[in-house]
A = this chain, B = another copy of it.
Amino acid sequence: MLEFAILGLLQESPMHGYELRKELAAKLGSIRAAISFGTLYPTLRRLQAAGYLTETGEAVPGGAEVPPLTTRRGRVVYKITAEGKERFADLIAQAGPETYDDAGFGVHFAFFARTDQATRLRILEGRRRKVEERRESLRDVLGRAAERLDAYTLELQRHGLDACEREVRWLEELIANERSGRLPADRQETEEDRPPEPGYPREERP
């Protein structure tokens, strides 16, 4: 999941580790805590080893690049490669029901602006299904097993059930918007001409 988030962010612009962490925290702040360094750096290495990222010298505002590599200063700037973009697209395409747990769905949703409408719908509906299942299971417990559980546990379940119902309603609104071609809320997607990524239409399982 983290791999997906990093690849997604680096498509906006190259960044070094710390920056990546901050941007990620801003973008995903509503669904998870800031990513740990113990996760970040190993993941960056793994992605680089896989050819999805490359190290680059740091671009100074003046213009030219400073010498490549770590040597000059601690910071290492990562840039996404063509394979990386492809990998990102693949990860979306492969997204199946198991991806739609709280964290997985949230991360995908956060990058909806880089996803085509059909995929957005697929993910929203998959998530809705998952939340509905959870909701039913909670109703079940609250109905059938209520007297086996203590008051606090019941209260927790009720709160969870409430959150499920609310999320389903939210999702239905989003789905309706999506079908009618509207964006969430008011904002118009000026968002500087989203470059017509060559790799977009890639809705296929091999």
Does A163 touch B at the CB level, under 8 Å? yes
Contact B112 A152, beta carbon cutoff 8 Å: yes
Verify A149–B185 contact, CB threshold 8 A: no
Asked if B106 contacts A156 (CB within 8 A), the reply is yes
Q: A110-B156, A156-B106, A170-B159 are in contact. Are A151 and B30 (CB under 8 A)?
A: no
On whether the beta carbons of A154 and B184 are closer than 8 Å, the reply is: yes
Q: Which of B31, B158, B159 contacts A156 (CB 8 A)?
A: B31
A185-B30 CB under 8 A given contacts A150-B191, A163-B163: no
Contact call B33/A101, Cβ cutoff below 8 A: yes
How extensive is the interface on chain A, given as a class?
A: 35 or more
Within 8 A of B (CB), among A122-164: 134, 137-138, 141, 145, 148-161, 163
Asked if B30 and A138 make an inter-chain contact with CB atoms under 8 angstroms apart, the answer reads yes
A166 to B162, CA, bound (A): 10
Q: Which of A148, A184, A189 has the most chain B CB within a 10 Å cutoff? A: A184
15 A-B contact pairs sorted by A residue (CB < 8 Å): A26-B141, A27-B153, A29-B134, A29-B157, A30-B138, A30-B156, A30-B160, A30-B161, A110-B156, A150-B195, A151-B183, A151-B185, A154-B184, A159-B167, A166-B166
